Amino acid sequence: MKQMNSRRLSLNDWGLCVLFLGFAVFSGNFLLARLFGIYDDDFTYLPAFSWSWNEMLAQVQTDFLNWPQGRPLAYGLGHLLFFLTVQGSSLGLAYLTSFVLVLLNSVLLMRLSLQFLPLPGAMLAGSVLALYPAETSRVILMMRVFNQLNLTFLLAALLLYMNGRRWQSYLAAAVMFYFIVSNLF
């Protein structure tokens, strides 16, 4: 299979692309973040507000040993990430990590699209991912691990594969399957 070379962008071009996608992610998903709260399945993480470090480590260990719903990484990392991002009794850091994950996914998709499309088309692909209105779970903090981090590993695996790094792409894909394998089918 012929390896496709992506178009080379200067550091300034990358900076402008990330700035544009960051604006799209923020305005489309997190502009009203100060009004956000805890939604839907996030209530399962409420005990993390009062956990000590030992309680958090015990919960993560339990999640890794018992594999809730067949997802060994998703629940353990979900509890860990929620605990770490609510230590100040605020959801601000939690939503900031969600913003960073959605932005990272948009940039990864743009980078992957550059192998097939000119820059405007690749920017459009990243923007569509950032602004896609049918996927509204971005404000649900639990979905950082279940959907967003899973998508990060999938896009990274595709990008690695397209750049000829086969075994690294298989490793990234395997990690992705451990996040959300029971929801794929």
Both tokens of 125, joined, read 């692909």
> Sorting pLDDT into bands at 50, 70 and 90, what band is 128?
very high
d(CA 99, CA 117) in angstroms, rounded, equals 25
Residues comprising the chain, all counted: 185
Q: Is the pLDDT of residue 120 over 90?
A: yes
pLDDT tens for 36-83 read: 666 666 666 666 667 888 888 888 888 878 877 776 677 777 778 878
At 68 the pLDDT is 74
Dihedral class, residue 164 (left if φ above 0, else alpha if ψ from -120 to 50, else beta):
left
pTM: 0.77
50-81: b (≥16 Cβ within 10 Å) or e:
ebeeeebeebbeebeeeebeebbbbbbbbbbb
